[in-house]
Amino acid sequence: MISIDQLVGKDDSALIAVDKQFLHRDIVDDWSALQAAASSVEFDLAAVSAYRSFERQLVIWNEKVEGQRPLLDANGELLDVAQLDDRSIVFAILRWSALPGGSRHHWGTDIDVYDRAAVPSDFNVQLIDDEVERGGVFAPLHDWLDDQIDKQQANGFYRPYQGVIDGGVAPERWHLSHQVTAEHFSRLLNAETLYNVLKKEKDMRLRDTVLENFDEIFARYIAY
Ligand SMILES: [Zn+2]
């Protein structure tokens, strides 16, 4: 049974540390197998980011609201927080960052990946389209991953952000998910549950704006 705390990144008891990241214990073997398959064709499949706690996502959220982290529009252009109303800030953040409690990274089943063999060891992976699209440094890895997923030889991993609805989450080619394990979580996640979690988060900036627009936010950015 998955608890609400596990669902929203407040309970890390099902996680195992692998290569400086935390993964759900049920995906560790499949992740290793996918890495081994990648290695056989000269890719070094590695995780940039796997599990992320609620607390961590809340810090990111609050820093974006406060203007301490860059806030970008849909085209990646810098926005000035001081010029935006609260609702606009919330929706600008959601274009690129998950709502605390609403991230697939809270589950330990989802991993942002790159090819460690394609770049120098001090390379700063940014997780941007330029890295993963045609001509990008990690494009060959992702072409290979597409092929493995198509042939159902990706050890249970897939891309959950394909066919993204207009105005929702940006496509993220770097993001893989372990489908069977993640489905246990996604089935449990609904608007009422998450609303009730956030209602108690007194330290969350613009929480009231989020709650006032919650059905729209949930439909566009979480239940896609
Ligand atoms: Zn991701």
Summarised one tens digit per residue, pLDDT across range 46-87 is: 999 999 999 999 999 999 999 999 998 888 899 999 999 999
212 C-alpha to center of ligand 1: Å? 26
> So what's the pLDDT on residue 96?
85
**Element of type H or E holding 16:** strand 15-18
Helix axes 28-40, 139-150, angle to 10 degrees: 120
Tokens in use for 118? 């394609």
From ligand 1's centre to the CA of 53, what distance in Å? 13
Helix (H, G, I), strand (E, B) or coil at 221: helix
111/158 Cα distance (integer angstroms) = 11
CATH number for 93: 3.30.1380.10
Cα of 99 to ligand 1 centre, how many Å? 13
Beta carbons of 106 and 51 less than 8 angstroms apart: yes
175/47 Cα distance (integer angstroms)? 10
pTM of the prediction? Answer: 0.92
Asked if residue 176 lies in contact with residue 158, where contact means CB atoms within 8 angstroms, the answer is yes
| Dihedrals phi, psi of 191, to nearest 5 degrees | -60, -40
Q: How many independent structural domains does the chain possess?
A: 1
> Where is average pLDDT lowest: 25-29, 104-108, 136-140, 171-175?
171-175
Weakest-pLDDT range from 108-122, 162-176, 194-208: 162-176
Res 223: pLDDT: 77
CA 44 to ligand 1 center in whole angstroms = 18
Residue 40 lies in domain:
4-222
Residue 43: CB atoms within 10 Å: 22
CA distance 78 to 97: 15
Q: Which tens digit of pLDDT belongs to each residue from 165-196?
A: 555 666 789 999 999 999 999 999 999 999 99
Ligand 1 centroid distance, CA of 168 (Å): 15
How many Å lie between the centroid of ligand 1 and the Cα of residue 13? 21
List, in sequence order, the alpha helices (H) in the chain: 4-7, 28-40, 54-65, 86-96, 129-132, 139-150, 179-188, 191-199, 207-212, 214-217
Q: How far is the CA of 67 from the centre of ligand 1 (A)?
A: 22
Residue percentage of the chain with pLDDT more than 70: 96
CB 52 within 8 A of CB 105: yes
- pLDDT (0 to 100) of residue 88: 96
